[in-house]
Amino acid sequence: MKQYWRSIEEYESIQEQGNKGNQDDSLKETPDHHHDEPGDSDLAGSHSRRDFLKMLGFGIGYAGLLSGCEMPVRKAIPYLNQPEEIVPGVANYYATTFYDGHDYCSILVKNREGRPIKIEGNVLSPVTKGGTHARVQASILNLYDMARLKEPMKNSQETTWEAIDGEVIAKLQEISTEGGRAVILTPTVISPSARHLLKEFMLKYPGTEWITYDAISSSAMLQANEMNFKQKAIPDYRFDQADLIVGFNADFLGNWLSPVEYTKQYTKKRSLMDSKTMPRHIQFESYMSLTGSNADYRVPIKPSEESIILLNLYNLIASAKGADTYTVSESPIEIGKLAEELLASEGKSLVVCGTNDLHSQLIVNAINHLLGNYGTTIDLARPLLTQQGSDDEMAALVDDMVQGKVSGLILCQVNPVYDYPAAQRFADGMKQMKLTVSITERLDETARLAHYVCPDSNYLESWNDFEVKKGCYSMGQPVINKVFNTRQAQDSLLRWMEDQATYNDYIENYWEKNIYPGQSKFDGFRGFRNEVLHDGIYVDTSSAGAQPSFSSVELQAGIEPEGEGFELVLYEKISIGDGKYANNPWLQELPDPVTMATWDNYVCIPPGYAKENRLKLEDVVLINGDVELPVLVQPGQPEGTIAIAVGYGRSNAGKVANGLGKNVYPLAVIADGHRKFSGRKVTMERVSGKRYPLALTQSHHTMEQRALAREATLMEYLEAPDAGNEMHMGIVEENLTLYEIPQYEGSHWGLAINLNACIGCGNCVISCQAENNVAVIGKEQVRNRRIMHWIRIDRYYSDEADNPEVIRMPVMCQHCDNAPCENVCPVAATPHSSEGLNQMAYNRCIGTRYCVNNCPYKVRRFNWFEYAGNEKFDYNLNNDYGKLVLNPDVTVRSRGVVEKCSFCVQRIQAAKLNAKMENRGIIDGELKTACQQSCPGDAIVFGDMNDPNSEIKKILDNPRTYQLLEQLHTLPSVNYMTKIWNKDKEDKKVNYRRTRYVPHSVKHGKKHS
Amino acid sequence: MHRYLRRIYHKILPSFLLTTLFIGNGIIAGNAYSQTTDPKQLFQVCAACHHIGKGKLIGPDLYGVTERHDRDWLMRFIRNSQEVIESGDEYAVKLFEEYNKIPMPPVDYTDEQINILIDYIANFVPYKPEAVAAAPAVAETEAADDFFAETKSTRRNYGTTFIISLILLLAAAFDMLVTRLIKARFVNFIVMLISAFIMIEITVVEAQNLGRQKDYEPDQPILFSHKIHAGENKIDCKYCHTSVTESKHAGIPPVSLCMNCHNVVREGRHTGRTEIDKIYQAMESGRPIQWVRVHNLPDHSFFNHAQHVTVGKMECESCHGDVNSMHRIRQVHDLSMGWCIECHRNTEVQFLDNNYYEKFRKFHEELKAGTRTRVTVDDVGGTECSKCHY
């Protein structure tokens, strides 16, 4: 079988030892946690274990005498007036919508006794279809962030809303009467009411201007579409309509535009559950992204090569179709086969590019046009509205600010002093102004410089409406009263317009006038509004525009960057994104699906360069003589490039985020009117002798050389459905036993994961963390390999280091029917249930960790410390607000006990009770585990394996299904389905091979017919 | 000694057997009253405001009401009293005025259920109240005394016994080895053995009772009497503990629910206005009443009321004891895990009545074949860890 490797160190060790060596040699970097402990006594009280035994000896003897001890008096405090919809102990779910200028998602919020504790996807929404993103899942914790502003502030002093309102209105009037210019800077606003409000605001204060600024912008794409279609918009991509997907640096499964929606579409076609076909996905990219690691063929390219390859590809297609071609230097990658395939699937292919570069975007548009993809896989009739910022407007604003042409600035939920490349100029500009107001959730880098800081409400405390695509409307409602003395931005604007209406009324008015008349289903506005909220999306069928006609423009390849050194790629991590939520400890501790790193950013360097220069993980390098960062050797990182994640290096986000990593936004450049996050040349020098520890989870879990993640190609699968899984039946037959095979009366719970639908995005990890009160333990303890996540996503590389293949599998407790952990527990704390669950009784566990050692899957987690209410672990469980997110139906574990995935037994119990109360059996599909509910890939299925009609039973009978380490005869209840790749028999080394490294000097294409 | 002691004894040195701590209890089956035709249950809703033959409560005494009005009028009035009043019915308006304009809330009973109810009221033979009606003053003092009385019962402290035993043991040992006053050594031995036995016994029982609160009967911020409300006035438990049928919590009634009745009942028989005024104070100040929780389970135990009351059809009394006779609520069982398990082993589930259990095919076959007589909670996995601990 294939040789898998988990890290570049292991890969090299395999290479050196001629594939014979023990893989474990590579794991010698195991941190020795017996030396660098923070000290037992520091972390949990002042008693050592020996003291405890001494005390115990006395304690038992004196127990009879210690009769003066009292139980704490516990209070039961009922409501004064119990709200009608609240039944203590029963959760309510409220539908609302998440949008933060970057990600959009229809969600349900689970409320217990008035406090939101969990986010679920809204399955009714046609856009996100019940999926969520890890950042959306974790956003519930932002609500309880202690770093949020609690009071309005003026010049760093707390003040009142009345004082602020009076002064802001006076200054706005002053600026307006003087004929001065005031600017409202916002991220993309997709709320129709808020857009209307902003327009009214500009009328109220003439001279006011509204500029949109997106931290991660799609401005080049907007401009390209304006040039080609006279429509400054982002089209609606339909990945579910495509048979061939070609991505150029577009991380559409992770961060690009609408990842949850795209993941749903992508995995639906690729899951191989209902059909025997799957689209092919080819990804050209300059860093190892989540999307690239899921592609059938991944081609590492330099950023500067992108437009050259694209234009060559265009030429090949154009010459086949008889259209104009352009002169361009030869493609560094063999793309003949790709052009053939694209031509073969005209109208059923999709080429996307995520680079903020006009040249590339124009070529991609031209290719899609030639292939007839507009109207099939690309829809401009209902453009996506979530990204609308134009970089040149922002650049002009900064110039004007520095020149003193702007006298007032209202910053709404933006933080350009942190995330704008020319941040220093922006900050300088702010200092000259008469009025600077920041409406923000926290006292961030920009708000710190503003005269007035107005605390903004969290989206879970606000009324909202959104138009995510043209004519597709959503609503948002508050699910909790305001936690602090905050006011949502729109309400602040209304007050400053001297309008006393609430924003809720404003939305209602707007909808009643503008959107409600467009429908005929409802007679009353209230009913209409409730349905829009409930269903997540209302589609105004009359509003779809026509597909605009294509007008071609001159194409040319981009300009090759000047200077020496590496081409730099700045990218977003799945967890931290653009850095807005850096203070969220759940996100900080979510291992990156590619690098498996937590808590930091780092420089991803290509393995070839690392080997030549003897650079290793955790060596420190200096980028451009300015930014010092540790090195992570990233397989698949193209030669001549380095990649660094943005979103780190916050100085004013809160105590979790401050000082973590480095801010690399200043390394972005503004060229051709667009902010370029990739392609700039930078120098990299080693800082000799310096090392910086990184907390990686990647080589925690050795799985030796066994067929764990099984895979096959589509061709093999079509020939034999058990391809890659041939050993399964053999193992089942070999697993003869003298003992009785366990039988289950009633239910037998089982879970299945379709490796073809799992993209490894990490949403399940956060969802599980929120549901099951999983503790955050901090970088040092992650480094000590004590991460507490109940579900982890293993990532294995195979093939060569320059361009590896990646396969992932989520692993949680396998709930073995023959569980090795159960029979080694000396106190029977982990017995088996009659429903096939491997139970864990925390109150019985004495912490011997025998079970941890005996578990072949390494899924059991030990509480080395008291993580809740311990100031050494100063995360959400160490303050009263953060604790509000805890699920009251799950025990908070204390020090010294083992924990692990329970199959969400609290949900099982609740579903059973519901069924019993309704005098019926459990319906297949009504009971969903936390990881399953919001999975954007629908990769997880949970159900009763005893039910002959259940989905899980069907999967059990599928020839793709196998169990992890099934040869051990542990009889796991978790099943996996083989990963099928849509690859040809010929290798990628032939079809997409690199023909040369350095592009020729021809840079500007010339038109010739 | 303080009353909130966690450890309390009932008998002098019981046997070593743990099981004596577990008190088995019989389960009486009852019905949820949405579809019930049991007149007593139907009347429970009415009983919150009406007596039959015991005088006025919030509403008029219903004794003889069937003679005052015809059945049709009663039907209309029970179904929706406001409609009758608004229709201008003279008697109804008079009643409404007389009883401080408190509307009688409509009930969603079927015609059949209302007929059964009227029959019940018509045929009700009121027992002659003696002490309460005849000599209220005396009863009041008695009851009040009872209310404030310290519950002494069987509580004892074995600290002294433990120390005496220890001294005896040491003295016997000392005598045996040093002073040798008692010639017959077996006496020393016996004394030492008995002392050690007593000390071990005390230690074991104490250790078992750590964290348990049997007989816990704390003072509450309001001298609220369950005996008066649930016992004498026969208000159904579910009238106040509304969520018991649908939630894990039975629910402590919000102050607004107290006001349903105490809007009118401004004065208590025993405590006058002082205690009831506290409800008004809470309402006016906006500060909810901070009751002291009597039945506490550890955080890692998840007990669900709905499971036991709605699905298991258990009576509240099985776990909470005879609340009807308690002024102040007392925890009557130790709520230990052994006590829970004991009941789960002996209690039958509603196996044939609830379709949920259809999937237990083997049990159904066995029941049919006669090889099994019953299905207990234990049989369907009710004693497994993760049924209560997760």
Per-residue model confidence as pLDDT tens digits over A726-747:
888 888 888 888 888 888 888 9
From the list A424, A359, A425, A437, the residue with the least C-alpha distance to A396 is A425
Please report the pLDDT score of residue A642 as a whole number: 93
pLDDT digits (tens, 9 = 90+) for B202-247: 888 888 777 788 888 888 898 888 988 888 888 889 889 989 999 9
Residues A599, A650 contacting (CB under 8 angstroms): no
List of chain B residues whose C-beta atoms are within 8 Å of the C-beta of residue A839: 384-386, 389
What pLDDT does residue A17 have?
A: 65
| A274 CA: distance to closest CA in chain B (Å) | 29
* Domains of chain B by residue range: 39-127, 156-209, 336-390
Given the cut 0.85, state whether the ipTM is greater than it: no
Confidence of residue B376 (pLDDT cuts 50, 70, 90): very high
Can you tell me the distance from the alpha carbon of B370 to that of B365, in angstroms, rounded to the nearest whole number? Answer: 8
Q: What is the pLDDT of residue A58?
A: 56
Q: List the beta strands (DSSP E) in chain B.
A: 291-292
Bridge partners, A297 (sequence order)? A282
The predicted pLDDT at position A788 comes to 93
Quote the crossing angle between the two packed helices A489-496 and A161-178, to the nearest 10°: 60
Residues of A (836-875) whose Cβ lies below 8 Å from B: 837, 839-844
Residues of A in contact with B360 (CB under 8 A): 745-746
Return left, alpha or beta for A199; rule: phi > 0 is left, psi -120 to 50 is alpha, else beta: alpha
Choose between A442 and B21: higher pLDDT: A442
Nearest CA in chain B to A916: B356
**Chain B residue numbers touching A841 (CB-CB < 8 A):** 385-386, 389
Q: Which of A77, A88, A919 lies at the smallest CB-CB distance from B249?
A: A88
β-pair partners for A248: A284, A353
From chain B, the residues in CB contact with A843 under 8 A are: 298, 300, 389
Give the Cα separation of A862 and A940 in Å (integer). 26
Segments of B269-358 assigned E as strands:
291-292
> Mean pLDDT across chain A, nearest whole number?
87
pLDDT of residue B219: 87
Task: Report yes or no: A679 and A641 within 8 Å, Cβ to Cβ.
Answer: no
Closest in B207, B362, B385 to A831, CB measured: B385
Q: Which of the four pLDDT bands, split at 50, 70 and 90, describes residue A131?
A: very high
Distance from C-alpha of A610 to C-alpha of A12, rounded to nearest angstrom? 11
Domain B39-127 falls in which CATH fold?
A: Cytochrome Bc1 Complex; Chain D, domain 2 (1.10.760)
Res A548 pLDDT > 60: yes
A156-199 pLDDT per residue, tens: 889 999 999 999 999 999 888 888 889 999 999 999 999 999 99
Partner residue facing B384 (CB), from A839, A843, A947: A839
The predicted structure's pLDDT at residue A554: 86
> Do B62 and B50 form a contact (C-beta atoms < 8 A)?
yes
Do A766 and A134 contact (CB within 8 A), yes or no? yes
Average pLDDT over residues B183-189: 85
Residue of B nearest to A946 (CA): B359
Asked if B4's CB is within 8 angstroms of A74's CB, the reply is: no
Q: What are the tens digits of pLDDT across the range A816-826? A: 999 999 999 99
Contact A916 B299 (CB under 8 A): no
Give the nearest chain A residue to B199 (CA atoms).
A64
Residues of A in contact with B389 (CB under 8 A): 839, 841-843, 891
CATH number of A153-217+389-472+487-498: 3.40.50.740
**What pLDDT, on the 0 to 100 scale, is given for residue B4?**
36
C-alpha dihedral over A288, A292, A293, A296, to 10 degrees? -150
Enumerate the residues of chain A whose CB falls inside 8 A of the CB of residue B206: 63-64, 67
Give domain A220-384's CATH architecture.
Answer: 3-Layer(aba) Sandwich (3.40)
Within 8 A of B287 by CB-CB distance, chain A residues are 80
pLDDT at A996: 61
- Cβ-based neighbours of A896, under 8 Å, separated by 6 or more: A845, A846, A847, A863
Task: Delimit the domains of chain A by residue range.
Answer: 153-217+389-472+487-498, 220-384, 566-696, 707-736+745-981
3-state secondary structure of A99: strand
Looking at residue A26, what is its pLDDT?
40
Q: What is the pLDDT of residue B20?
A: 29
Cβ under 8 Å to B: A residues 58-77: 60-61, 63-65, 67-71, 73-77
**What pLDDT does A997 receive?**
55
Please tell me what DSSP assigns to residue A548. P
Pairwise CB contact (< 8 Å): B306 & A837: no
**CA separation for the pair B147, B132 (Å, rounded):** 16
Q: Where are the alpha helices (DSSP H) in A336-386?
A: 336-344, 358-370
- Among candidate residues A843, A812, A813, the one with its CA nearest the CA of residue A828: A843
Three-state helix/strand/coil letters over A760-807: CCCHHHHHHHHHCCCCCCHHHHHHCCCCCCCCEEEEEEECCCCCCEEE
Identity of the residue numbered A917: M
Say yes or no to pLDDT of A811 above 90: yes
* Architecture of the structural domain at A707-736+745-981: 2-Layer Sandwich (3.30)
In angstroms, the CA A101 to CA A94 distance is 22
CB contact under 8 A, B290 and A75: yes
A389-444 confidence digits (pLDDT tens): 889 999 999 999 999 888 899 999 999 999 999 899 999 998 888 899 999 999 99
pLDDT 10s digits, A266-308: 999 899 888 888 999 999 999 999 999 999 999 999 998 899 9
- With 70 as the cut, is the pLDDT of residue B29 above it? no
Per-residue pLDDT tens over the stretch A17-73: 654 444 444 444 444 444 444 444 444 445 566 666 665 555 554 554 444 455 678
CATH fold of the domain at A566-696 = Barwin-like endoglucanases (2.40.40)
**pLDDT tens digits, A308-321:** 999 999 999 999 88
Instruction: Indicate whether A83 pLDDT > 80.
Output: yes
**Highest mean pLDDT (candidates A709-718, A761-770, B139-148):** A761-770
Dig out the tokens for A458 from the structure.
């969290």
pLDDT at A1: 58
Residue A872 has pLDDT above 60, yes or no: yes
- At residue A670, the pLDDT reads 86
Q: Do A909 and B302 touch (CB under 8 A)?
A: yes
Lowest mean pLDDT among A62-66, A858-862, B77-81, B365-369: A62-66
Considering chain B, what is the average pLDDT of its residues? 78
CB contact set of A45 (below 8 Å; sequence gap of 6+): none
pLDDT computed for residue B244 by the predictor = 92
pLDDT of A559: 78
- The reported pLDDT for the residue numbered B146 is 55
The mean per-residue pLDDT over the stretch B116-140 comes to 59
pTM value is: 0.84
Q: Quick check: B74 pLDDT over 80?
A: yes
Looking at A590-599, A624-633, B54-63, which range is the least confident one? B54-63
Percentage of chain A exceeding pLDDT 70: 91
What gap in Å lies between CA A98 and CA A118, rounded to an integer? 13
Residue of A439, A380, A386, A435 whose CA lies nearest to A415:
A439
Please report the pLDDT score of residue A322 as a whole number.
86
Helix (H) or strand (E) holding A392: helix A391-402
| Joined tokens for residue A22 | 């023990």
Per-residue pLDDT at A625: 86
CB contact under 8 A, B254 and A78: yes
Nearest to B43 by CA among B73, B70, B65: B65
**In the predicted structure, residue B25 carries a pLDDT above the cut 50:** no
Q: Is A922 on the interface with B (CB under 8 A)?
A: yes
A158, containing H or E segment: strand A157-158
Top-confidence range, A17-31, A72-86, A472-486 = A472-486
Beta-bridged to residue A467, according to DSSP, are A473
